[in-house]
A and B are shown apart, each in its own frame.
Chain A
Amino acid sequence: NAGVMQNPRHLVRRRGQEARLRCSPMKGHSHVYWYRQLPEEGLKFMVYLQKENIIDESGMPKERFSAEFPKEGPSILRIQQVVRGDSAAYFCASSPTGQGSQPQHFGDGTRLSIL
């Protein structure tokens, strides 16, 4: 499967635990975007990364949330000390360039549930 791969598909955490969400972009894509989606809502941009660099993190909460895209390996979205309000679907997308004229290719998301 050459598409965007996200894992896990479902993740359950208790309040106060850490959640790590992984995203492997499509082959040849070096630009990764993370979005959050609440039920019956559109996608809210969180962060945009290129290999080893954060390009735009304007949509990501300043506290508890962090993202990385190392030279080797998948992109990681990390949520520390999770709270009930973090329950959502988190989607990753990738593109070959950072241009808005390119479509983004999405993974099937990670559904995060906080107990």
Chain B
Amino acid sequence: SQQGEEDPQALSIQEGENATMNCSYKTSINNLQWYRQNSGRGLVHLILIRSNEREKHSGRLRVTLDTSKKSSSLLITASRAADTASYFCATDAPGYSTLTFGKGTMLLVSP
């Protein structure tokens, strides 16, 4: 299975702090994506990084990818209470047309 694993499983921080979540996967990938899921809702796409990219930014989000270690990190800077959600990484592998999701990190940002 190429399922990704996020860590930590849960993260609790104060507003204004940075949050870092990590994702590891097992096989070669074409792309890695990060999604957010608010309680009771569907997933929302945040950012995609290709296998030949090392870092990508989008607003307060910064994603890194290390294909030699088969890992990625998602950094949310200056967190807000509204960032409270579960965050999932998802990978697609050569020859596969589907995404494989990790188990996610639950982020709680307290005011």
Interface residues, chain A, with chain B CB atoms under 8 Å away: 4, 6, 33, 35, 40-45, 48, 55-56, 59, 91, 93, 98-101, 103-109
Contacts and interface: CB of A to CB of B under 8 A. Distances in A.
A104 B31 CA distance: 13
Given A93-B43, A106-B42, 14 more contacts: A4-B42, A33-B98, A41-B104, A42-B102, A43-B101, A45-B99, A91-B43, A100-B98, A101-B48, A101-B92, A103-B45, A106-B43, A106-B44, A109-B42
Nearest to B50: A101
B50 A98 contact: no
A91 B42 contact: yes
Interface string B60-104: 000000000000000000000000000010001100111111111
27 contacts: A4-B42, A33-B98, A33-B99, A40-B106, A41-B103, A42-B88, A42-B101, A43-B101, A44-B101, A45-B98, A45-B100, A48-B98, A56-B98, A59-B98, A93-B43, A98-B97, A99-B97, A100-B30, A100-B93, A101-B30, A101-B50, A101-B92, A103-B45, A104-B45, A106-B44, A109-B41, A109-B42
